[in-house]
Structure 1
Amino acid sequence: MSTLARRDRGADLVSRFGRMDRIFDEWMRSLPMRRPFGLGWDWPGEDLIRVDEYRDGATEVIRAELPGIDPDEDVELSVTDGVLRITAERRIEDKTEDKGYLRHELRYGSLTRSLPLPEGVSDSDISATYKDGILEIRIPIPEQTGAAEPTKIAITKG
């Protein structure tokens, strides 16, 4: 008797590689580097949300650093294809030109971060809170049921 196991040949390889590409790009931008003198604020890594990610029992916790942002208006959390995406926008004051700045180093603009979710996570179970500039996302991790048994297919002689 022979056993055939069905394998996913990656019908959606393009989307999988695209997702990996985005995650790798964000990881590269997060590496510490020095800004060469004279470069503008669009240096890689400036638009990346910094996070701490850890497990608390059966819950994955993501803490994102978002000071000075109104979570009701300027933060969006979404889940697509097993990836959690955090998008935020820091807005500049309308009247900055007449304040007489000698130095203006506060960053403004869009910030993003994409993080892969554990297998089997239900989008409806994810919760988020914001306090003191920290966005905390809690993701309950479902129990792993182990490897699936291969389906056995009988072979008939013809």
Structure 2
Amino acid sequence: MTALTRRQRFSFPELPEWFESFPARFAMPTVGDLYTVRIEDYIENDRYVMRAELPGISAEDIDVVLSEGVLTVKAERTEREVEKNRSEIRYGSMSRSVTLPPSANEDDVKADYADGMLTVSVGLGGEKAEAKHIEVKHGA
């Protein structure tokens, strides 16, 4: 019995390399010229906690701003001036903003950066805004 063999030919020789780097191409969504910082947020021990993934960035290149109930994290990763064979690392500015809960105390904010993770926590005042019914007047 004769075994049949089939030769695989790639019309596009760069295709396997393109698929190899596929996840890195779409790892961080972008907004304009900024890369979006990936976050998680939750409430723990009467504090709103937001953790941001910022690997490879020094603490001096991170800016945390709190203004009018919005928490914004900005960071920048600068490219090293070396000749590279391949680079899948994203360089440039990154930013992410989140709206704080209504009971957030903007005077009670803590930020810590370790192992590529920024953790920002904001105290919650405990007083949640209650629903307020507004009287609707009919014009004469």
TM (normalized to structure 2)?
0.67
Runs of 4+ in 1 over 3 A off after TM superposition: 41-44, 148-152
**1:151 to partner: Cα distance:** 9.4
Amino acid at match of 2:92: G
Q: Matched residues, percent identical?
A: 32
Unaligned runs of 5+ in 1: 1-34, 153-158
**1:86 paired residue number:** 73
Unaligned runs of 5+ in 2: 1-18, 136-140
Counterparts in 2 of 1:148 and 1:43: CA distance versus 1, 3 Å: closer
CA RMSD of aligned residues (A): 2.8
Higher helix share: 1
**1:144 to partner: Cα distance:** 2.1
The structure whose Rg is larger is 2
2:121 to 131, 135, 138: 138
1:57 to 38, 45, 49: 45
Provide Cα deviations, 1:129-154, integer angstroms capped at 9, x if missing partner.
011000011111111255377799xx
**1:117 to partner: Cα distance:** 0.6
Distance in 1 between residues matched to 2:29 and 2:116, nearest whole Å: 19
In the alignment of these two chains, the number of paired residues is 110
Amino acid at match of 1:62: M
Counterparts in 2 of 1:109 and 1:142: CA distance versus 1, 3 Å: same
- The answer to whether 1:45 aligns with 2:33 is no
More relative contact order, 1 or 2 (CA 8 Å, 6+ apart) = 1
Range 50-59 or range 117-126, more displaced = 117-126
Q: Equivalent residue of 1:104, what SS?
A: coil
TM (normalized to structure 1)?
0.60
